[in-house]
Amino acid sequence: MAVLVINSGSSSIKYQLVEPEAGDVLASGLVERIGEAEGRITHSDRVGESESTEPIADHRAGLQLAFDMFSRDGAALAEFGVSAVGHRVVHGGKVFSKPTLVTDDVITEVDKLSSLAPLHNPPNLLGIEVARALLPDVPHVAVFDTAFFRTLPRAANTYAIDAKLAEEHGVQRYGFHGTSHHYVSEQVAEFLGRPLSDVNQIILHLGNGASASAVQGGVAIDTSMGLTPLEGLVMGTRSGDIDPGILLHLRRSAGMTVGDLDELLNRRSGLRGLCGVNDFRELSELVSAGDQSATLAYEVYVHRLRKYVGAYMVALGRLDVITFTAGVGENAPHVRADALADLEELGIVVDPESNQRRDKGPRIISAPDSKVTVLVVPTNEELAIARAAAALANDL
């Protein structure tokens, strides 16, 4: 049994063919620069890796190219026995609280939510439509980034603005990265051999995008991203929390348009805005070399992270586990150490040696006498999507 997982973005399509139980990746690839003069596809499977550059007119051509790669390099896609296709969909709004079998009605609903995620939902939908046409005989399942956070209490998902206006325009906190937070929260319980319902946890997903969540007995009660993935932690190129008055000020005093502000907050902020680089490895090198703006960027990043840890400890009341995941969380021991430094009074003690150890799987990095267990748990959104799609397909 194999599930094809598709993450269709505005100019790229990532795909993975996954055996959902063991989690083996049978093939994977990336179609990039769709619609540009020169597109690129990289594909790897049991035969090996291959790469080609050619113009890729649109998503249909891109996905067709990916499907052709399977036959060009090895067994045709059909020979893998694809039993379902899982699609990452960014915004599920108030409608979708769990993975959902794709039907024409579901497509209409996802399309309606495009106003909340104009950069994401339309290309996600394109991927669904093209894949449905190419693989019409298998179930297609939409897995929403927002779904895990449909359980947020109203006190946590409501913005204190004019209630009527907010209702009319769908303005509330939805949260993102939900597939990762959900997957990691379950991995934590499994790794510790404890029932999920007994574990109160904070999850810090630190990648290019970054978000924190508070999960009480398996139920999300707060998360740092909001109406859009801009809110919360400092990210590679996104600001995270800022005073909304800044936007008014820049609109008035710098004459910036909505488009300018969008670009500022999404692309010219976060680490890049502060020191010119958004990749954490580059940032760390600059900090080591004594670069002042990089050092400030790092300090702002860590300060924000610590604020969220503190806020979520209080929101949870009792905290059992803090988990780091995603590119930075899994690979940058200094971030983990600094984020949780000097919190002995709160029962959080990171063990320097365990924290430095490089390992692929889930691991404990807290000291034996730490009241709160601190973990590193690799996330795997593709596997989570594949499992969700397989489970729905099995139920049909």
Binding residues for ATP: 14, 205-209, 279-281, 327-331
Residue with token string 């046409």: 133
Residue 266 found at the interface with ligand ADP (CB under 6 A)? no
Q: Which residues face 17 on adjacent strands?
A: 4, 27
What is the smallest separation between the CB atom of 208 and ligand ADP, expressed in angstroms?
Answer: 4
User: Which one among 114, 158, 172, 331 touches ligand ADP, defined by CB under 6 A?
Assistant: 331
Which of 68, 137, 145, 260 does the annotation list as catalytic? 145
Task: Report yes or no: 280 and 328 within 8 Å, Cβ to Cβ.
Answer: yes
What residues between 291 and 330 interact with ligand ADP by CB under 6 A?
326-328
What is the smallest separation between the CB atom of 68 and ligand ADP, expressed in angstroms?
Answer: 26
Closer residue to ligand ADP (CB): 209 or 273:
209
- Judged by CB under 6 A, which stretch of 53-61, 69-77, 276-284, 294-302 contacts ligand ADP? 276-284
Residue 281 found at the interface with ligand ADP (CB under 6 A)? yes
From edge to edge, which strands make up the β-sheet containing 2-8?
Answer: 48-54, 39-45, 25-32, 13-18, 2-8, 82-89, 140-144, 100-101
What is the smallest separation between the CB atom of 264 and ligand ADP, expressed in angstroms?
Answer: 20
**Catalytic site includes residue 45:** no
Binding residues: 7, 14, 88, 205-209, 279-281, 327-331, 381
138-168 as b/e: b if 16+ CB within 10 A? bbbbbbbbbbbbbbbeeebbeeeeeeeeeee
Q: What is the DSSP-derived secondary structure letter of residue 102? A: -
Which value, in Å, is the radius of gyration of the alpha carbons in the chain? 21
User: Which one among 26, 233, 313, 332 touches ligand ADP, defined by CB under 6 A?
Assistant: 332
Residue 240 found at the interface with ligand ADP (CB under 6 A)? no
Nearest residue to ligand ADP by CB is 327
Dist. CA 285–CA 283, nearest whole Å: 5
- DSSP secondary structure string, 149-191? GGG--HHHH--SS-HHHHHHTT-S---S-HHHHHHHHHHHHHH
The 207-236 site mask, x for binding ligand ADP (CB under 6 A), equals xxx--------------------------x
Closer residue to ligand ADP (CB): 208 or 354:
208
Q: How far is C-alpha 363 from the geometric centre of its chain's CA atoms?
A: 21
Angle at alpha carbon of residue 25, lines to 19 and 29, rounded to 5°: 125
Closer residue to ligand ADP (CB): 227 or 335:
335
Closer residue to ligand ADP (CB): 20 or 378:
378
Dist. CA 49–CA 44, nearest whole Å: 4
What is the smallest separation between the CB atom of 384 and ligand ADP, expressed in angstroms?
Answer: 13
Task: Report yes or no: 129 and 140 within 8 Å, Cβ to Cβ.
Answer: no
Dist. CA 230–CA 240, nearest whole Å: 5
DSSP H or E segment with residue 300:
helix 292-316
- Judged by CB under 6 A, which stretch of 90-98, 127-135, 150-158, 275-283 contacts ligand ADP? 275-283
Size of the site for ligand ADP (CB under 6 A): 13
Q: How far is C-alpha 305 from the geometric centre of its chain's CA atoms?
A: 17
- Judged by CB under 6 A, which stretch of 166-174, 202-210, 240-248, 300-308 contacts ligand ADP? 202-210
Residue 372 found at the interface with ligand ADP (CB under 6 A)? no
What is the smallest separation between the CB atom of 324 and ligand ADP, expressed in angstroms?
Answer: 11
Catalytic residue numbers? 145
Residues near ligand ADP (CB under 6 A) are 207-209, 236, 279-281, 284, 326-328, 331-332
